[in-house]
Amino acid sequence: MWRTHRFWLWTAATVLCLLPLTFNLWFPRDLLTLNQLTVGELPRCPGFEAKYVIGGNSIVLVLWVLNILMVPVAFAMWLLARGRPAGWLAGRLAIAYSTVRVAIDTAFIAPDLPFSEDCRQMWSPLTPWNVGLNLHYLFVALLIAIAVRGDGPRSARALTATRALTVVTGIAVLVASTGITLLIGTAGADRDQGIQATDGGIGSEECHDWTIVHRAYGDTAPRDRERAFLCLARDGGGYATRLAQLPDRELLIRGRELCGVAHLPSTDPTARELLDQAGAYDWGYSLMNALVFLCPDAVGRTWPELVLSEAEMIQREKDYQVEQTSYCSDPRARPRAHRQATTALFVGEGGGYGISDVGVDAGDGVGAGLDAAFDNGVAGADGDSATILTEVENTFVCVTVKAFAKAPPIVTRGWDKVVETGVRSPGGGLDLWSWEEIEPLPDLAVAGPGRYRIRVSVRNQERAELDTSDRPVEEHLVEVFPGRSTATVTHHRRQASTK
């Protein structure tokens, strides 16, 4: 049989049918989809959206790949039949498959191209591929039709019935696919009402609650969570550059793909591929803060704080603050201060905190006396503000503040460094500030407007640098009392005399 023209026509059809599968193995998946997905703000095109909704389903993808084997399987059946009706039937099924596949692909385009110029432009990057692939499968069907011509039932009625069945099947699939496409487009318009407006940019009215107010996942209604993801994914374009460029439907699909591997490390090959496609380097906070609105369970495994409401987050922070403060204690019980407090103070990037007059706006006292502070390693002041250094950063330090009506005795024993500097308080109040929001501490200016001395004692700085626990180790005692001097001095530990 291999010497017959029928055999070689079947062979050519089989090779051509498998050729697109080989093409997909050699070229990346995004090659055929990236161009039309990055053209900016896109119109609603039901057929285009349906193609990616249906085509992106894992079950559909598996069935579609398996369908490619239809022609090779039919060829094998034709060989085994050796001229019997079963071979003719296999050929007819292969022809029907090839033509119906073309009809389905055409059904996705049909609702868009005749009515919308914008949709035609969006489809245009895929047009050469779609047209070429459809002609490819029609040519496959033609080769098989020639190969099986004359096989099977000889009656004209049987042949007519077969042709009619193929045509009716193709038309039915075309009509059904078009109906499904339109239905999905209509339903998507209702469900996504207002979502397309997120393409308008950061700070738009639709995104205000998440990009400006930063509404938490726990405070977002279920119906708004997809919108929140779209807003945050585009708001953080710097951490996932390719996600920010996608239209809504494709962005949601890519987001759910990332959710499926969010439990894997970024070094896992599957996760690495999807992160690269999104333009993301790692599972960073910003990416997870967007994904939590699509898959809270997956994100919550590694970022449990992201699934909380704002009230829950505030309470959690308060509880953690109380826990950290429990590791701190008053290092000097006597003399009794007029006002005092002990807290675990969180110092941010670069470390350090400050004390400023109540009339100084937050942040204006940054860097006051910094040169002097660097010289002595502890504290320096200039005018209405003082800067106090810490050895550690991005962690807690134990701080005890005490306000006295007069200068307490100087104690250097038990401390690594003791430095004293001076500030003025024209507003009659002195506040301790940090880069991070802290619970209010007592006013340190007990004598009202005037000049004050700030004495800072520190210890355990070297140990804090090496410590790996979550507890505060570095310890500060800040004593404030009236005093006119503005000089910055270091009190050295007295050495015991020997004879």
Contact assessment for residue 442 and residue 339, using Cβ atoms and an 8 Å cutoff: yes
Which of 167, 191, 215 is at the close of a domain? Answer: 191
Residue 473 sits in a domain whose CATH number is 2.60.34.30
Find, among 243, 188, 194, the residue nearest to 54 by Cα.
188
Q: Tell whether 80 is covered by a domain.
A: yes
Contact assessment for residue 247 and residue 42, using Cβ atoms and an 8 Å cutoff: yes
pLDDT at 152: 56
Q: In this structure, are 164 and 293 located in the same domain? A: no
Q: Tell whether 433 is covered by a domain.
A: yes
Count of the separate structural domains present in the chain: 3
Which residues are CB-neighbours of 167 under 8 A, at least 6 positions away?
none
- CA pseudo-torsion sign 197, 200, 205, 209: positive
How many residues make up the chain in this entry? 499
Share of the chain above pLDDT 90, in %: 38
Q: Residue 5 and residue 421: Cα distance in Å, rounded?
A: 102
Residue type at 150? Answer: G
Using one digit for the tens of pLDDT, what is the confidence trace for 367-387?
A: 788 889 999 999 999 999 999
Q: Residue 111 and residue 188: Cα distance in Å, rounded?
A: 15
Contact assessment for residue 113 and residue 130, using Cβ atoms and an 8 Å cutoff: no
Q: In this structure, are 149 and 207 located in the same domain? A: no
Q: Tell whether 496 is covered by a domain.
A: no
Which of 145, 172, 191 is at the close of a domain? Answer: 191
Contact assessment for residue 336 and residue 400, using Cβ atoms and an 8 Å cutoff: no
Q: In this structure, are 266 and 348 located in the same domain? A: no
Which pair of structure tokens corresponds to residue 62?
């598996």
pLDDT at 21: 62
Give residue 247's domain range. 195-308
Q: In this structure, are 16 and 76 located in the same domain? A: yes
Lowest-confidence pick of 116-120, 248-252, 332-336: 116-120
Cis amide bond preceding 114, omega within 30:
no
Q: Tell whether 323 is covered by a domain.
A: no
- Give the three-state DSSP class for 213: coil
Provide the pairing of β-strand 353-357 with 379-382.
Answer: unpaired
Q: In this structure, are 40 and 174 located in the same domain? A: yes
Q: Tell whether 139 is covered by a domain.
A: yes
Average pLDDT of span 451-462: 96
CA angle 253, 51, 274 (to 5 degrees): 30
Q: In this structure, are 139 and 262 located in the same domain? A: no
Q: In this structure, are 92 and 131 located in the same domain? A: yes
- CA pseudo-torsion sign 403, 406, 412, 416: positive
Q: In this structure, are 186 and 205 located in the same domain? A: no
Q: Using the predicted structure, report yes or no on whether residue 338 has a pLDDT greater than 70.
A: yes
Average pLDDT of span 463-480: 93
Partnered with residue 337 across adjacent β-strands are none
Q: In this structure, are 99 and 207 located in the same domain? A: no
pLDDT at 197: 39
Q: In this structure, are 350 and 445 located in the same domain? A: yes
Average pLDDT of span 347-353: 89
Q: Using the predicted structure, report yes or no on whether residue 129 has a pLDDT greater than 70.
A: no
**Terminal CA-to-CA distance of the chain, rounded, Å?**
119
Provide the pairing of β-strand 475-482 with 450-459.
Answer: antiparallel
Residue 454 phi, psi dihedral angles, 5° rounding: -120, 115
Task: Count CB neighbours of 283 within 10 A.
Answer: 20
Q: In this structure, are 187 and 201 located in the same domain? A: no
- E runs forming strands in 236-366: 339-347, 353-357
Which residues are CB-neighbours of 109 under 8 A, at least 6 positions away?
47, 123, 130
On average, the pLDDT of the chain sits at 78
Q: In this structure, are 202 and 161 located in the same domain? A: no
Whole-Å CA distances, 264 to 129, 139, 277, 283, 454: 35, 44, 16, 9, 51
Q: Tell whether 329 is covered by a domain.
A: no
Q: Tell whether 321 is covered by a domain.
A: no
Q: Tell whether 446 is covered by a domain.
A: yes
Which pair of structure tokens corresponds to residue 199?
């393409």
Burial class (CB in 10 A: 0-12, 13-18, 19+), 14: buried
Which pair of structure tokens corresponds to residue 63?
């069935």
Distance of CA 6 to the CA centre of its chain: 56
Give the largest CA-CA distance in the chain: 131
Using one digit for the tens of pLDDT, what is the confidence trace for 13-59?
A: 788 777 766 655 444 444 343 333 333 344 556 676 666 666 555 55
Q: Predicted confidence band at 151 (pLDDT cuts at 50, 70, 90)? A: low
pLDDT at 324: 94
Which of 308, 342, 373 is at the close of a domain? Answer: 308
Which pair of structure tokens corresponds to residue 290?
């967007």
